[in-house]
Structure 1
Amino acid sequence: MQQPSVQEAAPEAGAYRWVALAACTLLIGAVSVVWHSFSVFLVALTEAFPWSRAEAALGFSIFVICSGLTGPNAGMLIRRFGAGRVVLAGGLVLAGGLAATSRVSALWQFYLCFGLIAGVGFSLSGWIPVVTVLQTWFRRRLGTATGIASAGVGVGIMVLVPTIQALILEAGWRTAYLAMAAGALVVTIAAALVLREGPLARAPVTGVAAVEDDPYLIDRKWAERPWSLHLALRTGRYWLLLVGFFLASFTSQQLLAHHVAYLRSAGVAALTAAGIVGVVGIASIPAKITWGIASDRIGRELTYTIGASLVAASVAVLWLVPVLGPGWLPYLYAVLIGAGYASSATLPPIVAADLFRGPAYAAIFGGIALASNSGSGVGAWLAGLIFDHTGSYHLAFVIAATGVAVSAACVWLAAPRRVRRVTGRQPAARALGEAARSPAGR
Structure 2
Amino acid sequence: MPTPTPTPPSRLFPGWYVVAGAFAVTFLGFGSAYTFSAFVDSLQTDFEASRGSVSLVFSLAGFLYFALGVISGPLADRWGSRTMAIIGMLFTGAGLMLAGLARNLMEVYLAYGLGVGLGIGFSYVPAVGAVQRWFSRRRGFASGLAVSGIGVGTLFMPPIAALLIEALGWRQSYLLIGAVTLVLGLVLSLLIQNDPRDRGLYPDGDPAPPPGTVSDGMQVGEAIRSKRFLLLYAAGLIASFGLFVPFVHLVPYARDHGIDSASAALLLGAVGVGSTAGRFLLGSLADKWGRQVTLMAMFMGMALSLLIWLFSRDFWGLSLFGFVFGVFYGGFVALIPALAMDYFGGRHISSIIGVLYTSVALGTLIGPTAAGYIFDLSHSYTVPILASIATNILAAAIMTRIPKVRSVPSCSTPALEKET
TM-score normalised by L of structure 1: 0.84
Give the structure 2 partner of residue 182 of structure 1.
179
Residues of 2 paired with 1:420 and 1:182: CA distance?
A: 45
TM-superposed deviation, 1:12: 11
- The alignment yields a C-alpha RMSD, in angstroms, of 2.8
Deviation digits for residues 57-81 of structure 1 (CA, Å, limit 9, x no counterpart): 1111111112223211101111121
1:244-393 map, 5 Å: 244-322=235-313, 326=314, 328-393=316-381
Q: Residue 254 of structure 2 contacts residue 315 of structure 2 at CA under 8 Å; is this kept in 1? A: no
| CA–CA distance in structure 1, aligned partners of residues 365 and 392 of structure 2 | 16
Q: Show CA shifts across 1:81-129 (max 9, x none).
A: 111111111111222211111111222212111112221111112x212
Quote the residue 2:35 is aligned against: 37
How far apart in 1 are the matches of 2:126 and 2:98?
Answer: 24
Matching residue of 1:398 = 386
Deviations 1:108-167 (A, max 9, x none): 212111112221111112x21221111121111110101111222221111221001111
Cα-to-partner distance string for 1:197-235 (whole Å, 9 max, x where unaligned): 232568899xxx999637xxxxxxxxx795233222322
CA gap 1:91/1:327 in 2 versus in 1, 3 angstroms: closer
Could you tell me how far apart the structure 2 residues matched to 1:268 and 1:243 are?
A: 37
Which amino acid is 1:275 matched to?
L
Partner in structure 2 of residue 420 of structure 1: 407
Matches of 2:341 and 2:391, distance apart in 1? 24
Between the aligned partners of 2:202 and 2:402, the Cα distance in structure 1 is 24
Q: Which residue does 1:426 correspond to in 2?
A: none
- Evaluate the alpha carbon distance shift between residue 165 and residue 354 of structure 1 in structure 2; reply closer, same or farther with a 3 A threshold: same
User: Cα–Cα, structure 1 residues 277 and 14, in superposed 2: closer, same or farther, change >3 Å?
Assistant: closer
Residue range with higher mean Cα deviation, 189-198 or 112-121: 189-198
Residue 250 of structure 2 aligns to which amino acid in structure 1? H
Partner of 2:206: none
Corresponding residue to 1:132 among 105, 129, 133: 129
What is the identity percentage for the equivalent residue pairs of Structure 1 and Structure 2?
27
Q: Which amino acid aligns with 2:246?
A: L
Deviations 1:259-303 (A, max 9, x none): 101111112111111112112111221211111111101011322
Q: Is the 8 A contact 1:158 1:278 kept in 2?
A: yes
In 2, distance between residues paired with 1:422 and 1:244? 26
What is aligned with 1:213?
Answer: 213
1:85–1:319 distance in 2 versus 1, CA, 3 Å: same
Structure 1 16/330 Cα, relative in aligned 2: closer, same or farther at 3 Å? same
Which residue, out of 168, 171, 183, partners 2:168? 171
| Alignment partner, residue 79 of structure 1 | 77
* 1:188-203 mapped onto 2 (5 Å cutoff): 188-200=185-197
Kept in 1: contact 2:235–2:395 (CA 8 A): yes
Gaps of 5+ in 1: 215-223, 424-428, 434-442
CA contact (8 A) 1:232 1:356 kept: yes
Q: Is the 8 A contact 1:313 1:336 kept in 2?
A: no
Structure 2 spans left out of the alignment, 5+ residues = 204-208, 416-420
Counterparts of 2:389 and 2:104, CA distance in 1: 35
Aligned to 2:418: none
Counterpart CA distance in 1 for 2:222 and 2:331 is: 27
1:155 counterpart = 2:155? no
1:439 alignment counterpart: none
Instruction: Please name the residue that 1:220 is paired with.
Output: none
Q: How far apart are 1:422 and its partner, in Å?
A: 8.5
Query: How much has 1:47 moved relative to structure 2?
Result: 2.1
| SS of structure 2 residue aligned to 1:75 | helix
Matches of 1:3 and 1:248 in 2, distance apart? 44
Q: Alpha carbons of 1:272 and 1:210: their partners in 2 closer, same or farther (altered >3 Å)?
A: farther
**Cα distance 1:177–1:192, how it changes in 2: closer, same or farther (>3 A)?**
same
For residues 302-349 of structure 1, the C-alpha deviation after alignment (integer angstroms, 9 at most, x for no partner) is 222332233122211111123xxx152112111111112112211110
Q: Which residue of 2 aligns with 1:50?
A: 48
- Matching of residue 228 in structure 1 with residue 219 in structure 2: yes
Aligned to 1:20: 18
Q: Name the structure 2 match of 1:94.
A: 92
Q: Distance in 2 between matches of 1:264 and 1:12?
A: 52
Instruction: Please tell me whether the aligned partners of residues 82 and 127 of structure 2 are also in contact (alpha carbons under 8 angstroms).
Output: no
Query: What secondary structure, in the 3-state scheme, does the structure 2 residue paired with 1:257 have?
Result: helix
Shift of 1:35: 2.5
2:144·2:334 contact (CA, 8 Å) conserved in 1? yes
Query: What is the count of residue pairs matched by the alignment?
Result: 405
- Any conservation in 2 of the 1:13–1:199 contact (CA below 8 Å)? no
Moved over 6 A (4+): 1-4, 201-205, 209-212
CA distance in 2 between counterparts of 1:407 and 1:22 reads: 31
